[in-house]
Structure 1
Amino acid sequence: MKSANRLLRTLKVIPLILLGGCSALQVVNSVSKIYTAEVKENIVFGTHPKLKYDLYLPDTANQEFDTTPVIVFFYGGSWNRGDKSEYEFVGRRLASMGYITAVPNYRLYPEVKYPDFLEDGAQSIANLRTELAKSEYQQYKPATQYILMGHSAGAYNAAMLALDPRWLTTVGVDHTASVKGLIGLAGAYNIYPIKDTDVQPVFNHPDYPPQSQPIDYTKRANAPTLLLAPETDTLVSIERNTETLHKALDAAGNDSTTQTIEGTDHVTLIGTLSPLLFFKGSTAKPIEEFIRKLHSTTIPETASSNGS
Structure 2
Amino acid sequence: MQQNLERLKAQLQKQTQIAKSLYRDFRIYDFGSYALNRLTPKQSYSLQANVAYGLKARQRLDLYRSVKLRDSQPLLVFVHGGAWMHGDKKEYAFIGEAFAKEGFNVAVINYHLAPEHIFPSSIDDLTLALNYLNQSQQKLHISAENIVLMGHSAGAFNIMSALYHPQPYVLQSRSSIRAIIGLAGPYHFDYKGDPLCADAFDQTVPYQQVMPYYFLEQNSIKHYLFTADQDNIVGLSNSTDLNEKLLSLGNHSQVIQIPRVGHITMIGSVSSIFSRFFSTKAQIMQALDDALK
Q: Give the TM interval when normalised to the shorter protein.
A: 0.7 to 0.9
Native 8 Å contact 2:130 2:173 kept in 1: no
Equivalent residue, structure 2, for 1:271 = 268
Amino acid at match of 2:51: I
Native 8 Å contact 1:219 1:252 kept in 2: yes
Equivalent residue, structure 1, for 2:130 = 125
Assess, with a 3 A threshold, how the Cα gap between structure 1 residues 45 and 116 changes in structure 2: closer, same or farther. same
**Displacement after TM superposition at 1:76 (Å):** 0.1
Amino acid at match of 2:33: L
Native 8 Å contact 1:162 1:182 kept in 2: no
Q: How big is the alpha-carbon RMSD for the aligned residues of Structure 1 and Structure 2? A: 2.3
Amino acid at match of 2:242: L
Native 8 Å contact 1:165 1:175 kept in 2: no
Equivalent residue, structure 2, for 1:116 = 121
Identity %: 27
- The residue matched to 2:141 in structure 1 has which SS? helix
Native 8 Å contact 1:95 1:101 kept in 2: yes
Native 8 Å contact 1:29 1:89 kept in 2: yes
Assess, with a 3 A threshold, how the Cα gap between structure 1 residues 166 and 126 changes in structure 2: closer, same or farther. farther
Amino acid at match of 2:149: L
Which among 131, 137, 143 is matched to residue 141 of structure 2?
137
Equivalent residue, structure 2, for 1:300 = none
**Displacement after TM superposition at 1:276 (Å):** 3.8
Equivalent residue, structure 1, for 2:9 = none
Question: Is there any run of 5+ residues in structure 2 with no aligned partner, and where?
Answer: 1-19
Higher Cα radius of gyration: 2
Equivalent residue, structure 2, for 1:303 = none
1:185 aligns with 2:183: yes
Separation of aligned partners in 1, 2:177 and 2:26: 31
1:74 aligns with 2:71: no
1:156 aligns with 2:189: no
1:1-308 to structure 2, matched below 5 A, reads: 2=23, 5-9=26-30, 11=31, 24-33=32-41, 36-62=44-70, 66-134=71-139, 137=141, 142-164=143-165, 166-169=167-170, 173-174=171-172, 176-208=174-206, 210-238=208-236, 240-278=237-275, 280-296=277-293
**Displacement after TM superposition at 1:261 (Å):** 0.8
- The residue matched to 1:56 in structure 2 has which SS? strand
Q: Aligned pair count?
A: 272
Separation of aligned partners in 2, 1:151 and 1:143: 21
Native 8 Å contact 1:186 1:236 kept in 2: yes
Native 8 Å contact 2:246 2:253 kept in 1: yes
Native 8 Å contact 1:163 1:221 kept in 2: no
**Displacement after TM superposition at 1:3 (Å):** 8.7
Separation of aligned partners in 1, 2:89 and 2:250: 35
Equivalent residue, structure 2, for 1:299 = none
Separation of aligned partners in 2, 1:70 and 1:89: 16
Query: What's the CA shift string for 1:255-308, capped at 9, x where partnerless?
Result: 011111111110111111123434642221122122212221xxxxxxxxxxxx
Higher RCO (CA 8 Å, separation ≥ 6 residues):
1
Question: Is there any run of 5+ residues in structure 1 with no aligned partner, and where?
Answer: 12-23, 297-308
Separation of aligned partners in 1, 2:83 and 2:166: 23
Separation of aligned partners in 2, 1:175 and 1:67: 15
